[in-house]
Structure 1
Amino acid sequence: MARIKSARVILTCPGRNFTTLKIETEDGLTGLGDATVNGRELAVASYLTDHMIPALIGREAHQIEDIWQYFYRGAYWRRGPITMAAIAAVDTALWDIKAKAAGMPLYQLLGGASRTGVMVYGHANGGTLDETIAEARRYREMGYKAIRLQTGVPGLASTYGVSGDKLFYEPADAALPTENVWSTVKYLPTVPRLFEAAREALGWDVHLLHDVHHRLTPIEAARLGKDLEPYRPFWIEDPTPAENQESFRLIRQHTTTPLAVGEVFNTVWDCKDLIQNQLIDYIRTTVVHAGGISHMRRIAHLAELYGVRTGSHGATDLSPVCMGAALHFDLWVPNFGVQEYMRHTAETDAVFPHAYSFKDGDLHPGEAVGHGVEIDEALAAQFPYRPASLPVNRLEDGTMHNW
Structure 2
Amino acid sequence: MAHAPQIKVPATYMRGGTSKGVFFRLQDLPAAAQVPGAARDALLMRVIGSPDPYGKQTDGMGAATSSTSKTVILAKSSRPDHDVDYLFGQVSIDKPFIDWSGNCGNLSAAVGPFSISNGLVDPARIPKNGIATVRIWQANIGKTIISHVQMTDGAVQETGDFELDGVTFPAAEVQLEFMDPAAEEEGGGGAMFPTGNLVDDLVVPGVGTLKATMINAGIPTIFLNAEAIGYKGTELQDDINGDPKALEMFEKIRAHGALRMGLISQLEEAAKRQHTPKVAFVAKPADYVASSGKKISASDINVLVRALSMGKLHHAMMGTAAVAIGTAAAIPGTLVNLAAGGGNLDAVRFGHPSGTLRVGAQASQIDGEWQVTKAIMSRSARVLMEGWVRVPG
The TM-score, its normalising length taken from structure 1, stands at 0.29
Larger helix share, 1 or 2: 1
Q: TM-score, normalised by structure 2?
A: 0.30
- Which structure has greater strand proportion? 2
Structure possessing the higher relative contact order (Cα contacts under 8 Å, 6 or more residues apart): 1
